[in-house]
Amino acid sequence: MSSPEIASLSWGQMKVKGCSTTYKDCKVWPGGSRTWDWRETGTNHSPGVQPADLEEVVKKGVKTLVIGRGMSEALQVPPSTVDYLKKNGIDVVVLQTEKAVEEYNALAAQGARVGGVFHSTW
């Protein structure tokens, strides 16, 4: 099962190939995607992405996880979150969202078991 391509990204909108939903923030993994609803885990720009935000994608067996911090990189990624991924044997890439989507799509095109969480505004 391959990771779906991010088909488009603009301020506040993301589209995933093969999915009719337009996301504001999204999670993707081999074989699927869904809305990343920050209210589920109480996420805010600071302290940022928590392990609880990533558990679902980690459980899909990804080897690399790409985190998009937003267009202005306002979304923080604390060291504890990076440590959580490394302890699970997952490579982590943290970038501004446009660069993160490029990296994610490149890895997906190579057939990597890649997942991602992307924030499409600040």
Number of domains in the chain: 1
The confidence score (pLDDT) of residue 1 equals 85
For the segment 2-22, what is each residue's pLDDT rounded down to a tens digit?
A: 999 999 999 999 999 999 999
Q: Is 57 left (phi over 0), alpha (psi -120 to 50) or beta?
A: alpha
Q: What does pTM read for this prediction?
A: 0.97
CA angle, 70 then 73 then 74, to 5°: 90
For residue 24, give the DSSP letter.
S
- CA dist 65 and 90 (Å) reads 7
Q: Does 6 fall in a domain?
A: no
Domain with 116 in it: what CATH number?
3.40.1230.10
Range of the domain at 57: 45-121
For the segment 54-104, what is each residue's pLDDT rounded down to a tens digit?
A: 999 999 999 999 999 999 999 999 999 999 999 999 999 999 999 999 999
